[in-house]
Amino acid sequence: MKGFAGPDGQKFDAALGLDAQHQPVLLPAAESKPTTATDPGQIPCPVCKLGTMLRGSSAYGCSRFREDCQFRVPFAWGGKELTDTQLKQLLRRGETGVIKGFVSAKTGKKYDAALKVDEGRVVPVFG
């Protein structure tokens, strides 16, 4: 839990627990067990919702790739290196803003598009 306001008005993070008399008490965050669920660095898989996205050498891939989820997002798409910000927007929100300068593999022409996750694939969205 986050955002409790202390007596001095300072916000602090804490977990709720029970003391020896079974009264609810606030446990300071430092004494509660760390959990990976609240790790801000972890990005849940937008496709299976069960795995987390792991950063590989050339793509983000779902941690459940050995099971049933083949979702991956290459760092380079459409002839362009995506920034970490763009990759995280795509993974966290399911889409990016418009990205300029993709190159069509068919025609060699440059084009601008947003990217979104659609049925487990990364697809361009044209405004």
What is the binding site for Zn ion (CB under 5 A)? 45, 47-48, 51, 62, 64, 69, 71
Query: Given the complex with Zn ion, which of 120 and 124 has the nearer CB atom?
Result: 120
Query: Given the complex with Zn ion, which of 15 and 48 has the nearer CB atom?
Result: 48
Q: SS3 for the chain, per residue?
A: CCCEECCCCCEECEEEEECCCCCEEEEEHHHCCCCCCCCCCCEECCCCCCCEEEECCCEEEECCCCCCCCCEEECEECCEECCHHHHHHHHHHCECCCEEEEECCCCCCEEEEEEEEECCEEEEECC
Query: Given the complex with Zn ion, which of 2 and 92 has the nearer CB atom?
Result: 92
* Shortest distance, position 62 Cβ to Zn ion, whole Å: 3
Q: Does residue 83 contact residue 100 with C-beta atoms inside 8 Å?
A: no
Residue 69: which of 91, 84, 94, 52 has the closest Cα?
A: 52
* Shortest distance, position 68 Cβ to Zn ion, whole Å: 8
* Shortest distance, position 87 Cβ to Zn ion, whole Å: 15
Query: Given the complex with Zn ion, which of 61 and 78 has the nearer CB atom?
Result: 61
* Shortest distance, position 57 Cβ to Zn ion, whole Å: 19
